[in-house]
Structure 1
């Protein structure tokens, strides 16, 4: 295989709603370019894209699939992405390394919730996009209505380059207004007859042509001048204008195909090879230092690893993009993230499980390496003297969480290893072994996401697991001042134990002053601060520890022990055993014994004094609150809002967005446990949501009462 230059490389993501035909289109393209001799089907479980056992089992894409092929002297690399919102992390990584999104639209369904969500991702990244209307030969296909639907959502930038003649079962061909040709298929044929546009279509074709001509000219001043001067443009000039329009997102071309019958796929592939932007034509990404890294084949070598899979008989396959420079077999590079050396022994262009060995790749190329010793998704390998690191791929926040446990305790370690590997393959999975909750928490994009993970664990790794309701990471705090003292005294022959601690607790907020006097039951306690320690708690919030000991009542060497005792109780709050936060503790008095006092005595005295004072200081439980944004069709707005209010949500506002409502709310994490499933049920799968941690808030008194009773019952059982 020849070494392709950067301007001969095209990197494209195939996206679209679940069921829109992405995998089928990929299969047709691989057949057209000769990489496969026979097209597989999803029903036959023999497609190039869906080759993992779980994908064959469920009949839908779980992972993105990279496939490269040569076409018209170009190196075309496409990434077929899953359509389900549950696997949107794959779309994030694919869009991060490609330069054009090809969005499939089902001609029988139009704009769907997946279309909207994915378009929003593409728009956020400012990526070029084009639409491909699939299933145009289906009996329920409606081209005109679907174009109207697209324009309602995405405006006049939506510009058809092709349109079908006949509708549904009357479909008999495609008019290509750019080529000014009519493609007509005979029954059972995949290759069309290329004809002149019929007289019956000339007026309509001329209208579409004029719209396309003006749209192409608008995107370049030179082309605009030529258009004004001559009243038209050549096909090559129009292609140039269309490409520039896509790059600036001023033009969203529309093509037509029947992926299942391989109709018009060849023409689409020709267009992509000519009009899809190459890596050097789009804005270059920045490294972590904010420096733009141009895809310069003469620059220092940098490889960014955006995807990892683990395949039988091979092990890890690491997919990368050459961000700068060139890479050759046998190159020695440095992992900028892990400070380790790597030799890139072999590099491959891939198409699913098929691998084509290559000796050299230039900037912009996407390829794979196998058996690298210490490379993870998100790592960068650099040549000597280069220190690029990239983190521009933003994976979606998790929306569905479950605790996971091996049914057989002996498999616990094996389960953790498998989960770590799955996290490498899918960075949108979040795995947390929670010391606080004493659970392993797995968070993902939805119920199907975790259901798929469970299938893989049980069928591939032979680890039977249970999903459990995850515990909620509550926090404890106080709402008023309180005072307590505690004497720890133990005498049982030999050296005894003695320590006495007097302290005050109060709720702490940032910047609050330290009072000089506290009053409890008519008694004043004067404070003379000798030392203040502010401890940033790893679970959020602060502990402020004030030493106000005067007259040597407690030796300074025992204060760390007192603090340790208090921290022990902060880690296991007095109410429910949850972490405590935002407390100021003033140790102002105490007693010690010249012989029996030691660190353990003051640690226990401090712990117990703090526990007593905490319980008397109006203790409250805090719960995690999440900012939730729901995108929902207007018809379902009332039902969705009622459901949220039943989840103790506080509605923060609403916005209209082209037939959809965007509902913003603050919802307790406890109430979001099964929300993705419920929302899908309420809206027939037409709504989506995002959630992100906001802060902690006090739970209502009835909820606190219930939590206290539940904790008390658990303690009795233990």
Structure 2
């Protein structure tokens, strides 16, 4: 039987911008609960959370980590997450299964851009949230400014529960306006002494206490009536009111602490077990077909896989949350996506890189299992006879692309296997084998994301690789009408080859009239896989070319459109009208007319004022106000057209259209000029003509490359 029932399991995710102290807080919480006897530190590289070699090398979290602690009859599952937006996939997957989020704010830096980015995801999941202002003990800490910024960014729902009596190196007292108590800590931190609130703080504490009560009461009519009747709410009423308001996203309680000195973590844990909701108190999950799935241990077993990792000598480990029922080792569950039955051979509780065997997990709990052969992130597993499929995690699109190659020939297969494994572990890393560009592409979130991928490939899979600039998927089109003809004739004993094609090509656009002077007898409109259209007209009269050869001419045209004459890029938005030709009663065949169509199209294309088009992306950069000028200057150096600036919270959003060819290295450049205080997203906008000088350079470069390949 499980040690904790559903109502006594709390799932908490630690969130915040890089450097705000999440891993250190997790260490405090484990220490306070007695699960570890010594607190590790980032500097000493011995924390439970940041156990990975790469994290210890870099000094910051890269992967989300599942830990758990026991506190006053409750089990608290903790998920520590990275703070850099390059690893946003780790944050989103953790938010998907958490029932409460603790957003840490750095008292020195205030609300940082990473906090705003993460907040958007908490709003999507409607995760009950706690704010914790950390690093109160640092010299430049400013609690009041941080609270003002939090209210400005996240609204008046941010309500102070605690504030520090002192800040900086002298910090050792916290005034709690929910319990109306002062906690006084020793210099070594740990369990505080509980004291009455000093007279010189009484007025401020009373005012904040009243604000807290009014915030709770205003979200519940019955609570408001009690407040009006008594002028006060007792502790149980406050607890129930806070829980309800947090579930509805109506209140975000704010605490203060120093994780480094272990001051305030115990009170935060007490609030988590006393007030924060368990999974069965949250709204039930809704399956993709609209079914409601209550979180009950007595219900049908159903789990959701939110993360997988691969460990040497262990294999693939799947992390999951039990959303219904009780899962036991040895149980067989059906994967709704694949229809495959998976046997849960082992169940684990996780403590960073340590695993503890358990026999069962109840609804609401989070655990791990090994070697699910056909199960991946976002899969739902359930008992037979059900068709539950829970809503999947939606991961953000990538912001950066590189091409990857092996340094040694013959290791392509090993690289392919490594990339497959990386993709299994990290859904925000997209692998694409581009037939168009003839490159293997990695689409990722940024430089650090890419560096982690490279480290894994080289250290875990033993394949040396290099990243190179990806080729740009240009397009080619034409700007005026042109005509050409080509005769293909070949005689080499026996049946020969003969075909002659006359055609006209024109720039295609919606609603254009039929070709002037030609009689259209057949129409084919092709939506091209690479964008744009090919409109093909059969305008042959008098049987100059038999109808059966029209598909071959079209095939020749299509083949040449896949390697445009200017840069070898795809051709788009062209209308081709075949209006004359000749054939031979014996020597004409499909291959003859395919070649004639291809060569006639090529000649006409070169005479039709050809134009190279380049992909342009909309780039949105979120940055502090004082960095807007530097961001805009850098964008304009990349041929960007800055279209405007919007205000988003306390940040400025610069909106620009930028050619993809100029976005190489932008992630590292932006981080450099803003000291990591900015974030960008990009999405495809359109293909536009390249400038004249750029077109000449691209054609010259392609000509040189073609000559080198011939040699």
Conserved 8 A contact 2:101-2:129:
yes
CA shift at 1:15, angstroms? 0.6
* Equivalent residue runs for 1:638-717 within 5 Å: 638-717=629-708
| Correspondence for 1:529 among 521, 542, 547 | 521
Query: In structure 2, what is the Cα distance between the partners aligned to 1:337 and 1:627?
Result: 34
Unaligned runs of 5+ in 2: none
CA shift at 1:691, angstroms? 0.8
- The 3-state SS of whatever aligns with 2:121 is helix
Query: In structure 2, what is the Cα distance between the partners aligned to 1:565 and 1:304?
Result: 50
| Counterpart position of 2:190 | 190
* Equivalent residue runs for 1:169-248 within 5 Å: 169-248=169-248
| Correspondence for 2:621 among 605, 614, 630 | 630
| Correspondence for 1:590 among 581, 588, 593 | 581
| Counterpart position of 1:355 | 355
Distance 1:661 1:450, change over 3 A: same
Conserved 8 A contact 1:430-1:442:
yes
| Counterpart position of 2:389 | 389
Query: In structure 1, what is the Cα distance between the partners aligned to 2:592 and 2:297?
Result: 68
Conserved 8 A contact 2:646-2:653:
yes
* Equivalent residue runs for 1:59-138 within 5 Å: 59-138=59-138
| Counterpart position of 2:346 | 346
**Deviations 1:483-538 (Å, cap 9, x if unpaired)?**
2221111112222111222222223334x3551x43xxxxx4x22323x3333322
**Deviations 1:194-244 (Å, cap 9, x if unpaired)?**
222233332222222111111121121111111100010111111112222
| Counterpart position of 1:602 | 593
- The 3-state SS of whatever aligns with 1:156 is coil
CA shift at 1:290, angstroms? 5.1
Query: In structure 2, what is the Cα distance between the partners aligned to 1:44 and 1:574?
Result: 60
Distance 1:641 1:301, change over 3 A: same
- The 3-state SS of whatever aligns with 1:692 is strand
Query: In structure 2, what is the Cα distance between the partners aligned to 1:476 and 1:431?
Result: 26
Query: In structure 2, what is the Cα distance between the partners aligned to 1:186 and 1:450?
Result: 44
CA shift at 1:607, angstroms? 1.1
Unaligned runs of 5+ in 1: 519-523
Query: In structure 1, what is the Cα distance between the partners aligned to 2:30 and 2:87?
Result: 24
Query: In structure 1, what is the Cα distance between the partners aligned to 2:460 and 2:634?
Result: 38
Conserved 8 A contact 2:378-2:392:
no
TM-score normalised by the chain length of structure 1 = 0.94
Conserved 8 A contact 2:176-2:183:
yes
CA shift at 1:19, angstroms? 0.7
Conserved 8 A contact 1:3-1:362:
no
Conserved 8 A contact 2:2-2:362:
no
Alignment partner of 1:566 is 2:545: no
| Counterpart position of 1:375 | 375
- The 3-state SS of whatever aligns with 1:409 is coil
Conserved 8 A contact 1:300-1:383:
yes
Query: In structure 2, what is the Cα distance between the partners aligned to 1:472 and 1:396?
Result: 22
CA shift at 1:292, angstroms? 4.8
CA shift at 1:121, angstroms? 2.5
| Counterpart position of 1:153 | 153
- The 3-state SS of whatever aligns with 1:76 is strand
Q: Which stretch of the first structure deviates more once superposed, 576-585 or 200-209?
A: 200-209
| Counterpart position of 1:467 | 467
CA shift at 1:386, angstroms? 2.7
CA shift at 1:546, angstroms? 2.9
TM-score normalised by the chain length of structure 2 = 0.95
Query: In structure 1, what is the Cα distance between the partners aligned to 2:338 and 2:686?
Result: 33
- The 3-state SS of whatever aligns with 1:648 is coil
| Counterpart position of 2:568 | 577
| Counterpart position of 2:539 | 548
Distance 1:291 1:555, change over 3 A: farther
Query: In structure 1, what is the Cα distance between the partners aligned to 2:548 and 2:263?
Result: 83
Conserved 8 A contact 2:483-2:503:
yes
CA shift at 1:582, angstroms? 2.1
Query: In structure 2, what is the Cα distance between the partners aligned to 1:290 and 1:654?
Result: 40
Query: In structure 2, what is the Cα distance between the partners aligned to 1:478 and 1:355?
Result: 63
| Counterpart position of 1:521 | none
Conserved 8 A contact 1:216-1:239:
no
Conserved 8 A contact 2:29-2:69:
no
* Equivalent residue runs for 1:36-55 within 5 Å: 36-55=36-55
Query: In structure 2, what is the Cα distance between the partners aligned to 1:376 and 1:403?
Result: 26
Query: In structure 2, what is the Cα distance between the partners aligned to 1:578 and 1:324?
Result: 53
- The 3-state SS of whatever aligns with 2:118 is helix
CA shift at 1:254, angstroms? 0.9
- The 3-state SS of whatever aligns with 1:384 is coil
| Counterpart position of 1:324 | 324
CA shift at 1:3, angstroms? 5.8
Query: In structure 1, what is the Cα distance between the partners aligned to 2:677 and 2:16?
Result: 14
Query: In structure 2, what is the Cα distance between the partners aligned to 1:491 and 1:82?
Result: 70
CA shift at 1:80, angstroms? 0.8
Report how many residues are paired.
709
Query: In structure 2, what is the Cα distance between the partners aligned to 1:582 and 1:440?
Result: 27
Query: In structure 2, what is the Cα distance between the partners aligned to 1:293 and 1:544?
Result: 51
Distance 1:685 1:374, change over 3 A: same
**Deviations 1:380-439 (Å, cap 9, x if unpaired)?**
223323333345422222112211111112222111211121122111112111111111
Q: Which stretch of the first structure deviates more once superposed, 357-366 or 423-432?
A: 357-366
| Counterpart position of 1:257 | 257
Distance 1:331 1:561, change over 3 A: farther
- The 3-state SS of whatever aligns with 1:108 is coil
